Structures are given as structure tokens and as C-alpha cells.
Amino acid sequence: MDISSAYKLVKSSVVAFTLKYVPVYDEKAPPPAFPPILGTGFVVREHGIIATNAHVVRGFSKAPQLPDAPKDEWPVRALMFKRIEQGMVEIPLEIVGVATISGFVPGKAYYGPKEGPDLAFVHVKARGLPVVQIDSKALIEEGVEIATAGFPMGSDLLTAPGWLHQLTATLQRGIVSAVLPFVCPTPHAYSINVMTQGGASGSPVFLSETGAVVGVLYGGLHDLEVSIQGKDFYKVPTNISYVVPSHYLVRALEGVSKHPDMQPQPEALTIEEILKRAELVNILDKGRNWITKKVDPEAEAARVSQLNRVTPENSRGGGR
């Protein structure tokens, strides 16, 4: 199987987590051509369970929210892309809960992060979703060819020339550069020679020969801080990124699948049913139907600063 065929097995399961509400600080400024992307995820259970990173989910609670919005409403959507006869459509999926790892007990010989793997799961109100195949038993060694697909640079990549010109995830290819701490059946991570940037967190990493997912992209290595004309400082990304191995994903998914808040939603629709009920609009011709509301920058900053870290105790939908 070539990489193009392998990607077809994964592509339809990849989603972007986007803001539901975008703050408007200047009423004269045009609204964005595409909602900001917080991260990437991929479907692991057909009844709406999506795998991503814990740090992506933590960002959900800091997303702008309308003052009069229901308390159980998430200010974020999972956006799925689907190719139909008329073209590409964006399908917004309602988030009904999240689950994070509440406890992690490492073995005697463990070299990974103390808080455990950077994993989380998002439950959306849908059923019959396309799922990826997960391979947790393959022995990953240096030199194994892999690929990843997600939304590096978030919506900036989709609107790079100043307008919306891309409506897909971005495929990248590389090899396993190192297995951490060394090649073994249960490594705590492995690195790949693929540059990652904001928005790509939570992307599936899969074998380019089979399309089977072997991990979740969670971060990248940055070089020293540099400045432009002595003003703005930023860290330069390298082409070394880190991956949560799939054996963690499978173990965590076992617990999440048993949680009562992660069970199928009785009123959930399939993608086909959603499309039948939807009114298709060509946003390239007509633009997006934005509901704008001016935001007080100081009030919004105060709201965000008071938000707590998302944990199984305070995350809507519970966790495990």
C-alpha cells in the first residue's frame, strides 16, 4: 500500500477543533474567513469518541463564550470535512463532554513525563462516524516510515494568501527518529522528523504502509529564542516532534469506553442524516454567516484568567 492509499484510511476521521464564537474587538475589522483552530483530533469510536491531547482540551475552557450561553454548552466545535458531489462540506459536530486521564501510575522503570501521556478524549453528538485502525502491538523502531495529518498553524494555513484556499487537513511524511527511552514494547514516546506547529496537536501518526495509527502527535522541540530587530521574541520550531505511543491510547480508551458519559447519544445523527437536514451554502461565494458581538477586552481577559484547569472533576462530561 502506498502512502496515498494509507492516508485515505485516515483522512475522513480527522477533525479540527474550532472556536464557536470569535471575539470582535473592532467592529470595523472584517470577521475571519475561517474560525480559529485550537487543535486536531481523530475519531476512535463510531459513536463520537475523538482522541486528542489533554493540552488541547484544556484550551477549550479558555475559548470565548457568550454571556447568555447555556452552562452545559461548550464554546468549541469539532469540525469534520467531507467530500460530496457538490464539493467539500464542513460538518460542525456538537461537543457533549470530554475525558482526561485523572491518574497515572508508572512502572518502576519510567522516563516519561510525571503527569503521564498527553491524551484526552472528546465526545461529540454523532454516530456512524468513520474510525481509524489503531495498532498498539507493532514494534516501532528507528527508521520506520510514518505520516501524520492535521492542521499545523491552525486556520492560518487554510487562509495563508489572505483568503480561504484550503479545506482539508495537511499530510506530512517522515520517519521515526528515536524511540524513547529506547526500542522496547512500551516506550513512553518516540520522536519523528516532522515539524509541528500550533494546531497540529492531537494529530494521528500512522504507518505509511498500512494506515494504522501508532500514536498521537503532542509537541515539538524548539530551538533557542530569537528576535526580529530586537523586538518580538519567539522560539524557532525544529523538525523534531514527539508522539504518544498507541499502547497508551488503547489503555486509556478502554476506561473511557466504559464511562457512562461517553456512551452513544440517543438522539445522535449520522453524517448522512446531518447533511440531509442541512442547508448547503457555498461560503466561497456568499461568505460565512457570522453573529458578531463586541467584546470588552478587559472583561474577557478577566474571565479567562479565572478559569480552572480542565480535569475530570470540573470538565463537563466527566472523565476517567
Q: How confident is the model at residue 250 (pLDDT cuts 50, 70, 90)?
A: very high
Q: How confident is the model at residue 278 (pLDDT cuts 50, 70, 90)?
A: confident
Bigger pLDDT: 187 vs 315: 187
Q: Which of 43, 36, 38 is nearest to 14 (CA)?
A: 43
The three grid cell numbers given for residue 293, joined into one nine-digit string: 458581538
Residue 83 is predicted with a pLDDT of 92
- The string of pLDDT tens digits covering residues 173-202 is 999 999 999 999 999 999 999 998 889 999
Q: How confident is the model at residue 108 (pLDDT cuts 50, 70, 90)?
A: confident
Residue 306 is predicted with a pLDDT of 45
The three grid cell numbers given for residue 63, joined into one nine-digit string: 475559548
Bigger pLDDT: 311 vs 185: 185
- The string of pLDDT tens digits covering residues 50-107 is 999 999 999 998 888 888 888 888 999 999 999 988 889 999 999 999 998 888 888 7
Residue 126 is predicted with a pLDDT of 96
Burial class (CB in 10 A: 0-12, 13-18, 19+), 199: buried
Question: From CA 283, how far away is CA 313, in angstroms rounded?
Answer: 39
Q: What is the CA radius of gyration of the chain?
A: 20
Bigger pLDDT: 163 vs 121: 121
* SS3 category, 117: coil
Domain ranges (residues) in the chain: 3-305
Listing DSSP states for 229-293 in one string gives: TTTEEEEEEEEEEEEEEHHHHHHHHHHHHHSGGGSPPTT---HHHHHHHS----HHHH-------
Q: How would CATH label the architecture of 3-305?
A: Beta Barrel (2.40)
Query: What is the arithmetic mean of pLDDT over 272-278?
Result: 90
> 277-282: which pairs have CB atoms within 8 A and are 24 or more residues apart?
278/89, 280/86, 280/89, 282/87
Q: Is the Cβ–Cβ distance between 64 and 21 less than 8 Å?
A: yes
Instruction: Quote the mean pLDDT of the chain.
Output: 86
- The string of pLDDT tens digits covering residues 285-310 is 766 766 656 666 666 555 544 443 33
Question: From CA 159, how far away is CA 151, in angstroms rounded?
Answer: 12
The three grid cell numbers given for residue 196, joined into one nine-digit string: 509541528
Residue 290 is predicted with a pLDDT of 66
* SS3 category, 304: helix
Q: Is the peptide bond before 181 cis (omega within 30 degrees of 0)?
A: yes
Beta bridge partners of 287: none
The three grid cell numbers given for residue 52, joined into one nine-digit string: 486528542
How many other C-beta atoms are found inside a 10 Å radius of the C-beta of residue 271? 19
Bigger pLDDT: 63 vs 215: 215
Strand-pair category, 87-100 with 37-45: unpaired
The three grid cell numbers given for residue 80, joined into one nine-digit string: 469534520
Residue 115 is predicted with a pLDDT of 85
The three grid cell numbers given for residue 87, joined into one nine-digit string: 464539493
Stated as kind and residue range, the H or E segment containing 299 is: helix 297-305
What single letter denotes the amino acid at residue 248? Y
Q: Is the Cβ–Cβ distance between 71 and 78 less than 8 Å?
A: no
Question: From CA 290, how far away is CA 141, in angstroms rounded?
Answer: 48
Residue 22 is predicted with a pLDDT of 83
Residue 178 is predicted with a pLDDT of 97
How many other C-beta atoms are found inside a 10 Å radius of the C-beta of residue 62? 15
- The string of pLDDT tens digits covering residues 16-63 is 999 998 877 777 777 788 999 999 999 999 999 999 999 999 999 888
Question: From CA 276, how far away is CA 82, in angstroms rounded?
Answer: 14
